[in-house]
Structure 1
Amino acid sequence: MTRIETPWGPWEAAPLGEVVELFRGAAATWWVSGGYAIELAVGGAYREHGDVDISVLRRDQLAVRRLLSGWDCHVAAVPGTLRPWEPEEVLPETAHDIWVREHPGGPWRFQLMLDEAEGTDWVYRRDPRIRRELGALTVEEPGFRRLAPEVQLLYKAKGPRPKDELDFAEVLPMLTGEQRLWLDAALELEHPAHPWRDRLRGS
């Protein structure tokens, strides 16, 4: 794994398998997200990963905090800042990004993301018009679930970085017609002039 320096200390991401094993003990639904969700959809490695992302529903946050009782958890409750996530603390709706490490002063090991839901629907936090049944949000892998690639690409579509462009290019040939239609419709709502739309419809 690549070591990345940040103002809040270095990232040395844990191997994906170790994080998956940890979360198998969670009393909540969870899934692999971020770049690994795209890589798993592609079916093989094509770039390095600076972090590991695990997503859970906001309503399950306390169950996950209890799972991580022995870890040092910090939340980006205000953009550009980190503060400790205290045990049994219910985070505000503005907080959705949590950094996790084994002990204070150590390297950050993985990132926890809080997703929104209403009833049986996942709700896209940046635009609540975009929704999906929770049963169709993720894809099963042996022993865990990963975020569907079209949903992960929606997150990556906001100001895509070079690695996001690479993820899009690698997974695009794997997307079914239904997946392309869903992502194109979601982009039409949030980013109507996004350049990915032409590629979704034309390749």
Structure 2
Amino acid sequence: MPRTETPWGPWEPLPLGEVVALFQGLEVPWWVSGGYAIELAVGRVYREHGDVDISLLRRDQMEARRLLQRWDCHVADPPGTLRPWAVDEVLPEHAHDIWVREHAEGPWRFQLMLDETDGEEWIYRRDARIRRPLASLGVASGKGFLRLSPEVQLLYKSKGLRPKDELDFTEVLPVLTGPQRLWLDQMLALEYGTHPWRDRLRR
């Protein structure tokens, strides 16, 4: 796995299988997300990954923190900074990005991303008008865990349009179903109005 440097120490992500094995001890919903969610949808390896992302619901954060009580967890609060996440702390509503490593001297190993909900609906944290049933978020990976549905992951990736996000969109576009393309096109229209991915989704 690649090693990258940050102002808060190096990233040296664990293999995806090791992170999945850890989270199989968690009895609340969670999903492999980020670039790996797209790669699993594509069905083949096509790029390196600088991190491993696991998504879970904000309401389940304390179960996850207890699972990781022996790990060194930091939260981006406020964004652009990192501070320790205590085992008994309920995170504020604006905090959703958590970095995790084995100990304070080690490299960062994976990220947790907290998703918002209203009952049994998922809420897109950048635009609360965008919602869908929680049951539709995860897709079986065929490997004993769920991955985040690709159209949802692409919505998260649609903001920055980094080169890796463009590559992920290009690679997964041929395997998106008609309903997945339609949903993403409609949500991009709602959030942005115009967006460079919309024309390609409708071809």
How far is 1:79 from its partner? 1.4
How far is 1:159 from its partner? 1.6
Distance in 2, Cα, partners of 1:114 & 1:165: 24
Matched ranges for 1:1-203 at <5 A: 1-141=1-141, 142-202=143-203
Q: What's the TM-score, normalizing by structure 1?
A: 0.99
How far is 1:39 from its partner? 0.0
How many pairs align?
202
Classify the secondary structure of the residue corresponding to 2:8: coil
Classify the secondary structure of the residue corresponding to 2:174: helix
Q: What's the TM-score, normalizing by structure 2?
A: 0.99
How far is 1:105 from its partner? 1.4
CA distances 1:137-193 after superposition (whole Å, capped 9, x unpaired): 110122100000000000000021000000000000000100000000100111211
How far is 1:27 from its partner? 2.5
Distance in 1, Cα, partners of 2:134 & 2:17: 24
Distance in 2, Cα, partners of 1:79 & 1:40: 29
Equivalent AA in structure 1 for residue 65 of structure 2: R
Distance in 2, Cα, partners of 1:138 & 1:197: 23
How far is 1:2 from its partner? 0.6
Distance in 2, Cα, partners of 1:119 & 1:46: 37
Distance in 1, Cα, partners of 2:157 & 2:178: 20
CA distances 1:71-104 after superposition (whole Å, capped 9, x unpaired): 0000001011100000110000110000000000
4+ runs deviating over 3 angstroms: none
Distance in 2, Cα, partners of 1:42 & 1:191: 26
Asked if the contact 1:115/1:123 (under 8 Å) is kept, the reply is yes
Distance in 2, Cα, partners of 1:163 & 1:87: 33
Identity %: 74
